[in-house]
Structure 1
Amino acid sequence: MMEAYFNRIKKPIVDKRFYDLFLDVKKTAVITIDMHMGHLSEDPDCPCPSPRAREVVEPINDFNDKCRQLGIPIIHVRSVLRKDGSDDINGNISAWRLLFPETVGPIPGMDDHALEGTKWTEFGIDVKETDYIVDGKKRLSAFYPSDLELLLRNMKKETLILTGTMLDCCLLSTATEGANRDFRIVIPQDLSRGYEENEEATLRIISMYFGLVVDSPDLLKQWRETLAESQSSLQV
C-alpha cells in the first residue's frame, strides 16, 4: 500500500480514490521547475543562487531516467525573460525581487536572472531529446503565462509530479494553480528544495490542500506494481 505525508505524518493511503486520481501512471507527467544555472551555478555572479537545489540534481536525473523507462513524459519548465527586461525588471517588477533580498540579503546580479541569451537559462539537469521544454514561465507559477496547460491537456495528462527548486515559491505556486485547474499534484519531497526555514511549512500546506507529498522510491514502486498487475491481467 502506498504511503504519503499528511501534515508531515507518513501513513498508508487507504482511500482508493487517491489511486485513481493521483497515482495512475498512464495519466502522469513529471515536471521539473527552474533547474537552470540561474539557481544552480556555483559562480559568485549567479543571479539567484539556490545552493540546496544542487543536492537534488542527480536524484532528479535518476528519477527522470526511471520515469522515461516507464513511459512517463518529462517536461522541463524554466523562466526565460526578454533580454531588455521588459517582462519584469523594466516593466511591472515581480514582487519577489523586492521582498526576497530583505530576507536573504543583497543578491548581486539579480537583474540578470532568467534573461534570454545568458548562461543563466541553461539547464543544470539532464534534458533528453524526447523531453519537453516550456520556456514561457515569467512569474512564480509554471502555468503563468506559459503554454504548460495546453501541452498537458493535449497530452491528456492529469497528474503532475512536481520536482525542482524554490519549493516554497515556484513549486508551491505551481501546485496551487495546478490544483485550482483540477490537475492532481504530487510532490516527491526528496526531489525538491526551497528556502530551508520554509520547507516544512510548505509541505504541510501542500499536503493539506493541494496534493500528495511522497517519497520518490515509494512512488516508483507503486507505478511499477500497477504496471505489472496490468500486464498480468492482459496475459490471463
Structure 2
Amino acid sequence: MPQHYLYGELRTLPSTEAYRKFFDIAETAVICIDMHKGHLSDAPECPCPAPRGRPLVGPIDTFHDTARGMGIRIVHVKSQLRKSGADDLNGIPSAWRLGFSEYVGGIPNIAEHAIEGSEWTDLVTRVEPGDEIVSSKKRLSAFYPSDLDFLLRQMGVKTIVLTGIMTDCCILSTAFEGSNRNYRVVTVRDLVAGTNDELEEAALKIMSLNTGLVMDSGDLIEAWTSSYVSASAGSDRR
C-alpha cells in the first residue's frame, strides 16, 4: 500500500474514499515551482541562489515524464517581474528581500531576481510540448497574482501535485493557497527543497496537517497505478 507522511511519520494511506480522491489522474496536474536559473544557476551573479534545488532537476524531469506518460498535465510556474520595478522594488518590496537576504549574509545581485527578459527566468527543468507555463508569479504563492487558478479550473483540475522550490516559502504558500481554494494538494517530499533541513522538515510537517498529503514520488506513482485507487476510479467527482 502507498504511504504518506503525517507530522514526519511515515504511515500507510487510509483506504477511504476521501483519500483515494487525491489520486484521480483525470483531475490532476503537477505544478512545478520556480525551477529557473534565478535560483539554480551556480554563477556568482545568481540573484537568489537556492543550491539545494540543483540536485532535483533530473529527478523532477523523470517524475514529470512518468506523469506525462499517464496523461497528467504539467504546469511550470516561474516568477517574473517587470524591468521597471513597478511590481516589486519600486513599490513595497517582497519581504524575502529583507529577512532571507539578511539570513544568508546578503545577495549581491538581488535586484536582478526574476526580471523579465533576463536569463534568470529561463527554466532549468525540461518543458515538453503540451506543458503549460505560468510566468506571472510575483510573490511567494504560485497563485498570486498569476492566472494559475483560472488555468487549472479551465482544465478541470481538482488535485495539484507540488514539485520545485522552496519548501518553506513558495511551496508552503502555494499549498496553503491551493487548499484554501479547495484543491486537493499533494506535496512531493523528495522533489521539493528549501532553505535548510530544519525549515524543510517544519514546512512538510505543517503541510501534512493542514494542506493535504505529503508523499514521496515513488509512493505517489504507486497510488496512481495500483489497486489502491481503483475502488473510486471515475466515482463522485466533486
For the criterion TM > 0.5, the same-fold answer is yes
The residue type paired with residue 205 of structure 1 is I
Deviations 1:85-136 (A, max 9, x none): 1110111211111111121111010000000011000001100111000011
Aligned to 1:220: 221
Aligned-pair distance for 1:177? Answer: 0.5
Question: 1:1-236, aligned counterparts within 5 Å?
Answer: 1-196=1-196, 197-225=198-226
CA RMSD of aligned residues (A): 1.6
Deviations 1:173-193 (A, max 9, x none): 000101001101101100000
Take 2:89 and 2:111, find their aligned partners in 1: how far apart are those partners?
7
Aligned-pair distance for 1:6? Answer: 0.3
Deviations 1:34-90 (A, max 9, x none): 000000000000000000100110000000000000000000000000011111011
**TM (normalized to structure 2)?**
0.93
Deviations 1:4-54 (A, max 9, x none): 000000011115134343122221100000000000000000000000100
Take 1:226 and 1:19, find their aligned partners in 2: how far apart are those partners?
13
- Between Structure 1 and Structure 2, the one with more helix by share is 1
Unaligned runs of 5+ in 1: 231-236
Aligned to 2:234: none
Aligned to 1:234: none
Deviations 1:149-180 (A, max 9, x none): 00110111010000001110000000010100
> Is the contact between residue 28 and residue 159 of structure 2 (CA under 8 Å) also seen in structure 1?
yes
Aligned-pair distance for 1:227? Answer: 10
Take 1:228 and 1:215, find their aligned partners in 2: how far apart are those partners?
17
Aligned to 2:235: none
Take 1:177 and 1:105, find their aligned partners in 2: how far apart are those partners?
30
Aligned-partner SS, 1:54 = helix
> Is the contact between residue 34 and residue 164 of structure 2 (CA under 8 Å) also seen in structure 1?
yes
Aligned-partner SS, 1:48 = coil
The residue type paired with residue 165 of structure 2 is T
Aligned to 2:236: none
**TM (normalized to structure 1)?**
0.94
Take 1:180 and 1:174, find their aligned partners in 2: how far apart are those partners?
10
The residue type paired with residue 135 of structure 2 is D
